[in-house]
Amino acid sequence: MKNQRINDLVNAFCVLRDRQYAVYAKCAAHHGLTVNELFVLDILWFSPDGCTQTDICRRLSANKQTIAAITGRFLKKGYICLHEVKEDRRSKRIIFTDKGKAYAQDIIPYAAHAETVVLLSRRMPKDYLEVNVELDDDFLTKAESKGTYEQIKEYIFEKYQIKVSSLYIAQVKEECGIKERENYNHSKKEDSKQPKVPEDKRKIIMEALEHFKMI
């Protein structure tokens, strides 16, 4: 019973996380950004003294290549500047320029408002559920590291500039024995043939699944 309760809670959490991520994805797309670009802007917005690339990687659980690509784009657009860290000259502190502050000022409040509207539209503020379940560190690490379809797509695009479909991701996940709440791999028509994932895309999807510690 306890294991079933834990599974139910984790599944509920994953659904909520996916919905929240979808809100951020729509907000990011509205401003011509990727979700990770939006997250980096958010971190810098609430870090008036700036932060290092390592700080951002740790907070987003993202790899250095992804964050380096994002900061590189922002640097070219003049949104950020880099300052040496006295304690470690190999590190650079990332800080908004005036242009970057003005740009983020039109985006961050919009993102926060979008999330608030979604939350309030689904549940009354005084109606809430308090859950207290003790889980071991290994269980938490596995649950928190799983990536959504959109996160996997974005990770692949930012690293390889290649787009992959949910169908291809689902096929590779099925090959790896990962169970799905929603089966993207089967068509509603029983006699329809689904395109098979190309080998080059299978490899990068596998790499993404490893990145999110799903395999």
- Give the DSSP letter string of 72-112: HHHHHTTSEEEEEETTEEEEEEEEE-HHHHHHHHTTHHHHH
Residue 64 lies in a domain: no
Check if the beta carbon of residue 70 is closer than 8 Å to that of residue 33: no
Q: Has residue 59 got a pLDDT over 50?
A: yes
Check if the beta carbon of residue 185 is closer than 8 Å to that of residue 174: yes
Q: In angstroms, what CA-CA distances link 57 with 13, 64, 69, 140, 180? A: 23, 6, 12, 19, 28
**Tokens (6 digits) for 96:** 């908004």
Residue 31 lies in a domain: no
Residue 171 lies in a domain: yes
Residue 173 lies in a domain: yes
- How many residues appear in the chain? 215
Domains identified in the chain, total number: 1
Q: pTM of whole model > 0.85? A: no
Q: What is the pLDDT of residues 114-172, one digit of tens each?
A: 666 555 555 544 444 455 555 454 444 444 446 788 888 888 888 888 889 888 888 88
Q: What is the DSSP pairing of strand 80-85 with strand 88-96?
A: antiparallel
Q: Which helix (H) or strand (E) is 52 found in, with range?
A: strand 51-52
Residue 208 lies in a domain: yes
Residue 80, pLDDT score: 95
Enclosing domain of residue 150: 146-215
Of 63-67, 109-113, 144-148, the range with the lowest mean pLDDT is 144-148
Residue 158 lies in a domain: yes
Residue 24 lies in a domain: no
Q: In angstroms, what CA-CA distances link 147 with 17, 97, 103, 111? A: 10, 32, 29, 21
Of 14-18, 74-78, 94-98, 135-139, the range with the lowest mean pLDDT is 135-139
Residue 77 lies in a domain: no
Residue 214, pLDDT score: 79
